[in-house]
Amino acid sequence: APNPTCTVSKSCGFNMTYGGSTITASLTQDTLTLANDAIPGYTFGCINKATGTSLPAQGLMGLGRGPLSLISQTQNLYKSTFSYCLPNSKSSSFSGTLRLGPKFQPVRIKTTPLLKNPRRSSLYYVNMVGIRVGNKIVDIPPSALAFNPATGAGTIFDSGTVYTRLVEPAYVAVRNEFRRRVKNANATSLGGFDTCYSGSVVFPSVTFMFAGMNVTLPPDNLLIHSSSGSTSCLAMAAAPNNVNSVLNVIASMQQQNHRVLIDLPNSRLGISRETCT
């Protein structure tokens, strides 16, 4: 818990920020029951007050590599292995799946090694070696994709970020090649997206290239549409100018309708197409 205030006679309180939300909470323990599995002495935060819009009313389930995450606290039971499948944001039922433990995980799945970064030890780092737009590997400065334990730079998978963000040199290179391949149409901006088109347009594919596997995004993972449906935007942006400016983040929209496997004992992340709704 960040900055806890604990005494023998009082509860352990802490404050933290998540996205645009600020949370005041108390650390507590109870038995957590998942299906038929009981986990006694499970430590979690009990929210007393939350401000902002980034935190859902139900709270958050931590699936990272930190010591208080669900995965870390249940490692004897679930062997630090899980997978999830996020539904499409337009799904009517919006019910994805979470599988805990090595049983019933996909066998035929493309994988890439997980990397450890002591600077940001709770995150799932992988080695992204390039990005292809159409059939062209985009010319990206190697430093924009480089894994650097000293600075926290590199590429992560994060289901808590909505749209993929690339460090600025990588994003500019990908965006410019994407625009170049959209024929007879001019890009406009809409909201936080700077590569949008109206009407009937043929879009190029985008492929993330990792060590040992490639992931080509279907249109539903690549484009976001205006409420009227008349405008489509490349659903990516440059990394914000803050502590995350050195991070490439493969986000939840780009993960939708994919099975994402985290296998910590074998230090690998896997991904395969799956209809999640």
pLDDT of residue 89: 76
Fill in the DSSP letter of residue 87.
P
pLDDT at 188: 96
- Tell me the pLDDT band of 48, cut-offs 50, 70 and 90: confident
| Full set of structural domains in the chain with CATH | 1-60 (no CATH), 63-273 (2.40.70.10)
**DSSP secondary structure letters along 168-226:** HHHHHHHHHHHHHHSTT---EEETTEEEEEESS-PPPPEEEEETTEEEEEPHHHHEEE-
Q: What is the mean pLDDT of the chain?
A: 92
Confidence of residue 95 (pLDDT cuts 50, 70, 90): confident
The closest of 230, 207, 205, 201 to 219, measured between CA atoms, is 205
Residue type, 262: I
Nearest in space to 163 (alpha carbons), one of 242, 260, 239: 239
The pLDDT of residue 133 is 98
The CA angle 59-160-17, to the nearest 5 degrees, is: 60
Angstrom distance (rounded) from CA 71 to CA 251? 20
Tens of pLDDT along 56-73?
767 889 999 999 999 999
Q: What is the pLDDT of residues 145-200, one digit of tens each?
A: 999 999 999 999 999 899 999 999 999 999 999 999 999 899 999 999 999 999 88
Residue 94 has pLDDT above 80, yes or no: no
